[in-house]
Structure 1
């Protein structure tokens, strides 16, 4: 039995919220609804498919019998990916490993969504994570305060999303410029000389070191596949090694080296690459990467990178990849055979100048995105500690007390009914 004297203690600056179990806050309504397998996703269609992946919409279907017929909105949780999604439109549940969660009547669904977003659920690899989510306790502010929190967080989230959209639009400029200047590599409409990749090297390509890296022990930064994200170097996750003297020449990264993912479990990530510029820092690379050092009197490495990420260049690259039972691969011999349309060096240089301007602009976009993300994270933490609405709470004290009392009674009734159902 809930005791109001225990859960409603008011001071001038702070009103503690009820803290309740996951089962009292959320109902798992996943069962009984059809799920669309990934192989059945369409690129276009009437009904969006939402699954546990990174994308808001994973695909489409035209089958109206697959549409989720429960009440909306709902929260989707990726049992493997730990991704939360707020869905307030007709949709189809995608593939496996997703939970559909319905908020109880004394919760605002979006408030719960934002609260879940503020959590850190530790990764257990590709195992199930819903069992960890069910263990959490959830704060229960009055509904009017929940709505106020959602209003503030919605505004911050909208700014964050607009900045992300601006960055995404900027990222589409460079591929368009590449095609405009050089044409589609698949058709070579400008009639450039066509050469094999192996004719462009300064030295033959090779794989990285097999030495196991550590977080803090080592003189050399060991670059790995995870450090290559969206065509850029990401050093959020750094590991280090001590590189033997006899291995330095073979496994050292120099300015202008192209580093390419040559063995990886994902078809979409095989071939992702960067052009590295370590300067005077000591960088090595691991065995899942291939180092390609080009003769820059023939080709700029940035031209090759953009060739490989263009649609036509990507198709050419994939012709030479292989799939084993556990991963996708390309070896140096296969990479040597890739055919590249080769425009004049001065035209490549012109493209490189535009690329450098673009990188400067993208860095500014990235800094703005990081700023908005940090602000949003701060607001999330303040929202669920009670700080965000402290002044608003003081101005609405009487109404909030009445709401909390009604909430406590509703929870007590539900708790008693559940106990009776077990008798």
Structure 2
């Protein structure tokens, strides 16, 4: 049996603040100061910024003890963390100090994680959706006995550990691909002393921009946008828009297996990211992306891997022209990027290894998808008293 109380009943809630940016003495060595970007849905051990004692004293920032739960209220509503040490937070993060006589910390964490979609649906505002502390304090929570809470938390912890391990495998596979690039081709900064140099444009056969047509929730063609190209060189097709194309537009604005897509406009850190099309699914291409076609897919894999290498990222950053929160590398500039002219046999050998890694990644993603389904099922059963 469980009773229903509110989050305000089971924890002490508060939020932080931000010192004046115009006073540099408020920022520096001191207490880690969390922004939403620092939250990781797990134990938070560090922050990108820290506040000095003066920074904390002259702002609404508050130091919270280890074990405090952290909940994002702006933008990424419901993103979570648990403080590993003493930390301070911005006003965009609510913190909860659980009442240990009423609620188990891990039970509360898992309940908040399960409630994220509903909390996000509660968001209000214009450019940035948000919720308030009052929303959180009034939020209902089923409260079984402490031993039952711990039992539920342990089951969910174990299921979540499975998901974490799968994600670690995916990260390892990406690292393996990067290491294979370096082992096969050597450090790019040394290429000019060992190999003939050319340009990406000399390897490419066609370079074309995507469509400027407006995409929406309906249409014949799923369309790739900048967010569908990941930083590590994959396609994320979980959030697609759609568009209709005329017969004449289809060959101009669609991709095929072996094409490379290049993100010409984004933030300075992300502009120039690239991915190879490794699917036969019908896909169109939006205007912020460039389609680069080669004689063979091995060249596409080589160029894409170079662009996400540390050397390639540095070149992208140097080329990027910045304007009002965005950076741009146009197709002409991309084609001028210098690259070694390795023999086709070397590029094909690299592609063969990448294909093996890619298939392992697909298998791991399928298992992770099953793990996610299991976790969601356990969450649902746990908090309706059926676990």
Relative to the length of structure 1, the TM-score reads 0.77
- Answering whether residue 69 of structure 2 is matched by residue 75 of structure 1, we say yes
Q: CA RMSD in A?
A: 3.1
User: How many corresponding residue pairs?
Assistant: 365
Q: Cα deviation per residue 1:353-377 (whole Å; 9 max; x = unaligned)? A: 1011111111112122222222111
Query: Residues 89 and 59 of structure 1: is their aligned pair in 2 closer, same or farther, counting only changes over 3 Å?
Result: closer
Matches of 2:295 and 2:46 in 1, distance apart?
A: 41
- 1:161 is aligned to 164
Offset at residue 61 of structure 1 (A): 6.5
- 1:345 is aligned to 344
Offset at residue 94 of structure 1 (A): 5.5
Query: Residues 210 and 345 of structure 1: is their aligned pair in 2 closer, same or farther, counting only changes over 3 Å?
Result: same
Q: Secondary structure at the match of 2:291?
A: strand
Name structure 1 gaps, 5 residues minimum.
1-14, 389-423
Matches of 2:93 and 2:194 in 1, distance apart?
A: 49
Offset at residue 116 of structure 1 (A): 0.6
Name which of 254, 257, 278 aligns with 1:252: 254
Query: Residues 210 and 185 of structure 1: is their aligned pair in 2 closer, same or farther, counting only changes over 3 Å?
Result: same
- Would the aligned equivalents of 2:262 and 2:289 in 1 still touch at CA under 8 Å? yes
Matches of 1:35 and 1:157 in 2, distance apart?
A: 39
- Answering whether residue 100 of structure 2 is matched by residue 118 of structure 1, we say no
- 1:220 is aligned to 221
Offset at residue 201 of structure 1 (A): 2.0
Matches of 1:135 and 1:186 in 2, distance apart?
A: 58
- Answering whether residue 286 of structure 2 is matched by residue 286 of structure 1, we say yes
Q: Secondary structure at the match of 2:197?
A: strand
Name structure 2 gaps, 5 residues minimum.
none
Which structure 2 residues correspond to residues 118-197 of structure 1 after superposition, within 5 A?
A: 118-119=114-115, 120=117, 121-122=120-121, 126-130=128-132, 132-188=135-191, 191-197=194-200
Query: Residues 28 and 196 of structure 1: is their aligned pair in 2 closer, same or farther, counting only changes over 3 Å?
Result: same
Matches of 2:258 and 2:221 in 1, distance apart?
A: 18
Offset at residue 96 of structure 1 (A): 5.3
Name which of 242, 245, 248 aligns with 2:244: 242
Offset at residue 184 of structure 1 (A): 1.8
Offset at residue 49 of structure 1 (A): 5.8
The structure number with the bigger radius of gyration is: 1
- 1:85 is aligned to 80
Relative to the length of structure 2, the TM-score reads 0.83
